[in-house]
Amino acid sequence: MRVMRSEWTKLRTLSSTGWLLAGAVLATIAVSVTGVLSVDTSHCPTPAECFEDTVRLSLGGIRFGQVVVVILAVLAVSGEYATGTIRATLTANPRRLTVLAGKAAVLAATVAAAGVLGVLGSLLAGRLILPGNGFSETNGYAPLSLTDGPTLRAATGSVLYLVLIALLALGFALIIRDTAGTITTVFALLFVAPVVGLLVTDPEWREKLDQLTPMTAGLSVQSTIGLDTMPIGPWPGLGVLAAYAAAALLAGAVLFARRDQ
């Protein structure tokens, strides 16, 4: 608990933390609002034949919010290396794995809180906007509600997705120890890998890549319809991202324990 209080103090006193957390929430909601505003039923034969996954559509801002989460997670580690305060941290508590556990716990809790606000705001926007675009109850689209099992799973999974992205970035930050290098590496893993998958012409290999790509697999947790046609199921997909985050944290922990400051 002492380590966690120390890590929380360091995180909240960073001048960028408040702005990044607010940015993550607002960016998630703003992009989600833009997404739901841009879709209506006019292009469908009938409104009921749109077959739109309104839950996933409403949570589309998570893709953008994760960008801010990555930056926050990286700065939580690389900032200490850049300023040299990591020496003071390890002098106060030489048990490096305890320090890492404290950092990970505080970061996960902070990102989870921001994720909850972003997800709730996005779903509220979808609930208010989508009926006016034709996705109404009379046309066969139930109002978005957390009492609906698939919607609750998508919302909870989206928050967990952001937490796992933060832990993934934290692990890479411990490995690379450079802000620009870490951010570039994580963004390449998240955004370039799916583009490579699109260039693969063989359907079987493309499906395998979708199953192994952290962002594509992880965001499958947001889907509420057409699950039988997806390359990977919602929870298994999130499990793929969790495996990436665990591997990055494990590698980062080994290097953190063995390296000099």
- DSSP assignment of 142-176, as one string? PPP-TTSHHHHHHHHHHHHHHHHHHHHHHHHHHHH
**Measured on CA atoms in the order 170, 176, 181, 186, is the torsion positive or negative?**
negative
**pLDDT value of residue 201:** 78
Q: Could you give the angle at the alpha carbon of 103 between the alpha carbons of 101 and 107, nearest 5°?
A: 120
**pLDDT value of residue 252:** 94
51 Cβ contact list (under 8 Å, min separation 6): 225, 226
The answer to whether residue 261 scores a pLDDT higher than 70 is no
Q: Which residues of 21-36 are buried (b: 16+ CB within 10 A; e: fewer)?
A: bebbbbbbbbbbbebb
First to last CA, the chain: 23
Tens-place pLDDT, residues 178-213? 999 999 999 999 998 888 877 777 888 888 888 999
Domain boundaries, the chain: 2-258
**pLDDT value of residue 120:** 98
Mean predicted lDDT score pLDDT of the chain: 91
**pLDDT value of residue 19:** 92
Confidence of residue 153 (pLDDT cuts 50, 70, 90): very high
What's the CA gap between 29 and 125, in Å, rounded? 8
Kindly report which listed range (24-28, 38-42, 60-64, 197-201) carries the lowest average pLDDT score. 197-201
- pLDDT over 90 for what percent of the chain? 65
Decide which of 79 and 233 is more confident.
Answer: 233
Q: Where are the beta strands (DSSP E) in the chain?
A: none
In angstroms, the Cα distances linking 93 to 61, 100, 170 are 38, 11, 19
Can you tell me whether residue 214 is helix, strand or coil? helix
- pLDDT over 70 for what percent of the chain? 99
What's the CA gap between 159 and 208, in Å, rounded? 25
